[in-house]
Amino acid sequence: MADDVNVTVTSCVMRVSNLDRSVQFYCDIFSCRVAVRSDDIALLLTPKGFQIYLHLKDEAAPRGIGTLGVQHLVWSTDSRSDLEQITERIAAYDPATYLHVDDATGLTFVDACGPDSERIIITYPGPGELPRTAIAERLRD
């Protein structure tokens, strides 16, 4: 039996058709505040620190499954050893698992695919250890 690891869901990334409208909605409804914003993506923080990335997608694009709404969850851990253990576990399922350090944010990203080919992202350190001051390019993919 594998050792337990400490990992928490900290963020979600959602594709939206109107960034201003979506930012306003989440701020009004859930008391979010804007932490970082650019022309096509915004990072909102809930009062408890959950992160919502809103990513603008072209309104003219077809609205099939996955066009709008939650794109993927971002998991974080505050332990490098937990990140290494999770990376080994997920690499057993997806040999194409990719580890990347983002110079702009200081985050280590593990990118992999889950059982339904959905994108799985794990970051280290978590937002409690390294507050976000920029949006990593990996989240624009």
* Placement of tokens 């332990």 in the chain: 79
What is the per-residue pLDDT across 114-135, written as a single tens digit (0 to 9) for each?
877 888 899 999 888 888 888 8
The answer as to whether 1 is a domain residue is no
Query: In total, how many domains does the chain have?
Result: 1
The answer as to whether 92 is a domain residue is yes
The answer as to whether 40 is a domain residue is yes
Domain extent at residue 64: 8-140
pLDDT along the chain (141 residues), means of 10: 84 90 90 95 93 82 63 84 92 92 90 85 87 80 68
CA dist 44 and 24 (Å) reads 10
The answer as to whether 57 is a domain residue is yes
CATH code for the domain in which residue 39 is found: 3.10.180.10
pLDDT of residue 36: 96
The answer as to whether 120 is a domain residue is yes
The answer as to whether 3 is a domain residue is no
Residues 44, 34 contacting (CB under 8 angstroms): yes
Q: Which residues contact 134 (CB under 8 A, 6 or more apart)?
A: 36, 104, 105
pTM: 0.68
